[in-house]
Amino acid sequence: MSDATESISTNPLARRSFEWRHAFFSLEGRLSRRSFWLAALITALLSFAVYFLLAASLGLRIPGRRNEAIAIASLVEFAVMLYPRVAIEVKRLHDFDWSGWWALPMNLLQLGAVLIYAAAQHGNDDETTAVGMGVSILVVLSIVLGTPRGDKQQNRFGLPV
């Protein structure tokens, strides 16, 4: 191994590449701020894509039922993207040496916002204030998870990444 390669591989401050399988599919270990924000951005883009594709395809199949198509698309998107979202949150919580179970109330809050949105679409009610509050709380929770540094030392969930 050359000196340059050896110094990069032994340097604890060297940036690691983004491990997408670990980020989206594992509940073990830790996730750095950089990886959290990258994974959160990818998850958000995938969520929008799933939602809009479902809403468009369902809306075309159910003429005059646009609101029901939007409600169904919202619920299916939540279910499809739940595991990757939880995996990201759990590992970020682990970076603070917190239990991953704290992701449960965060996702229950998001489920509540999705259900209120779906009910508003289905019933033609104006629930935009409740949905806006739910989304705002989720954005604040993401900022709280993604802003502070994690533990600099090894904790019960592993070494810092």
> Residue 35's closest CA among 102, 98, 95?
95
Higher pLDDT, 159 or 60: 159
Work out the mean pLDDT of the chain and round it to a whole number.
80
Residue 125 within any structural domain of the chain: yes
Residue 160 within any structural domain of the chain: no
* CB of 58 closer than 8 Å to CB of 120: no
Residue-wise pLDDT tens digits, 52-61:
898 888 876 7
Return the bridge partners of 158, or none: 155
- Domain residue limits at 92: 31-146
Residue-wise pLDDT tens digits, 108-141:
888 887 787 777 766 555 555 555 666 677 778 8
Residue 26 within any structural domain of the chain: no
**Percent of the chain scoring above 70 in pLDDT:** 77
Residue 2 confidence (pLDDT): 46
Residue 11 within any structural domain of the chain: no
User: How many domains does the chain divide into?
Assistant: 1
